[in-house]
Structure 1
Amino acid sequence: MIHITLQDLGVQDMMTRLAKRTKDLSPVMRRIAGILHDAVEENFERQGRPAWVPLKPRTIRQRSRFGYWPGKILQRRGELAVSISRKFDARSAAVGTNRIYAAIHQFGGKAGRGHKVAIPARPFLAVTDQDLGEIRTAIQNYLTKGV
């Protein structure tokens, strides 16, 4: 293995600042958590990206009977959408919800009495390639800012 030692003080200074910036990534993780939260809000607004499976006629009739139609998919009362929270620390960023019923909507599956009702997956905790691009840009900006 060949080792190269840089004697340039400018490069050494830049490397020192870069090392300090990567010890605590909280600032960029805060930004990433915001991007993730915005992505989830956009998913609810646009009813999926790509579009979620439409509601079945039976579900629409049921919602109409109780005054929840017309409306958006996964937003009968809006409780799931407003339950989305974000968190971050020095090494991670996340969004999620504490609603028990969220998993069945995210992943799909059988629900109801006897688990006889098939609910299609409608992934609201999802990011697009565009969202990932925003995250990459945030990381690049953080690492190069002031370096």
Structure 2
Amino acid sequence: MLPRIRAGATTRARRHGRQTCRNTPKTCRSNTVFVITENSRQVIQALTMLNSAIDDAAPVMGIIAGIMHDEVEENFAQEGRPKWLGLRRPVGKDRQGGKILQRSGQLAASIEPGFDSKSAWVGTNKVYARIQQLGGRTSPHRIVPRNKKALAFNGRVVKAVNHPGSNIPARPFLMITPGGEEKILSAVSSYLSKIAGGGA
């Protein structure tokens, strides 16, 4: 279940801030989708109007995908908007810039936009993205050394550790601020005006 933000014709089931990809592009099937916001009625209405009026809205969907991508990148830069819950342990030297969700930088770098004639989306192919977005508890697992014969754990040296699992707080990086929504509304409005004036 790979998280995405999606904006498009499908508006049902958005009241809880997520939906399945039943009516989304093939690349999004079986994924979990995170829509713009739970209460963004104006954006949903504008997108519905857009898709009702135009068969191929790919030009403006490309713009919307870019807006959403910029919003997600800014979420990483500011460590959440509002701020994500902090780390339990001190930041190590292996964490890029000392920022949350950027220990290796792979999650932030994996965020990619996409669009078609009826929808726009931003998502990631990282399997651990879902639990970082929603929060949850990891499954119990066994930790073994990769490059050495033993592990240092809680002041002891052991061959393996049976980890009970960890509670991961929700740190929603796939979300759009009210400012981002205003940009989407402006893009849709400008495009519809252009269409009405015969400019497309």
TM range (shorter): 0.7 to 0.9
Per chain length, whose mean CA-contact separation is higher, i.e. which structure has more relative contact order (CA < 8 Å, sep 6+)? Answer: 1
What is the alpha-carbon distance in structure 2 between the residues aligned to residue 140 and residue 68 of structure 1?
41
Q: Which runs of 5+ in 1 are unaligned?
A: 1-17
AA aligned to 1:76 is R
Task: Indicate if the aligned counterparts of 2:96 and 2:102 stay in contact, CA closer than 8 A.
Answer: no
Unaligned runs of 5+ in 2: 1-49, 142-163
Superposition map of 1:74-93 within 5 A: 74-93=101-120
Question: Could you say what secondary structure the match of 2:114 adopts?
Answer: strand
* Bigger share in strand: 2
The structural deviation recorded for 1:116 is 2.7
Q: Deviations over 1:22-51 (max 9, x none)?
A: 121000000000000000000000000111
Alignment of 1:37-52 (within 5 A): 37-52=69-84
Structure 2 residue 100 is matched with structure 1 residue 73:
yes
**Superposition deviation, residue 67 in structure 1:** 3.2
* Aligned residue-pair number: 124
> Pairwise CA RMSD of aligned residues?
2.1
2:188 maps to 1:139: yes
TM-score, structure 1 as length reference: 0.77
| Greater helix content | 1
Query: Larger radius of gyration, structure 1 or 2?
Result: 1
Provide runs of 4+ in structure 1 moved above 2 Å: 66-70, 112-116
Identity in percent:
48
For the 8 Å contact 2:65–2:121, the answer to whether it is kept is: yes
Deviation at 1:130, TM superposition (A): 0.8
- Paired letter, 2:58: S
What are the equivalent positions in structure 2 for 1:110-129 lying under 5 Å apart?
110-113=137-140, 116-129=165-178
2:86 aligned residue: 54
Q: 2:126 aligns with which of 96, 99, 105?
A: 99
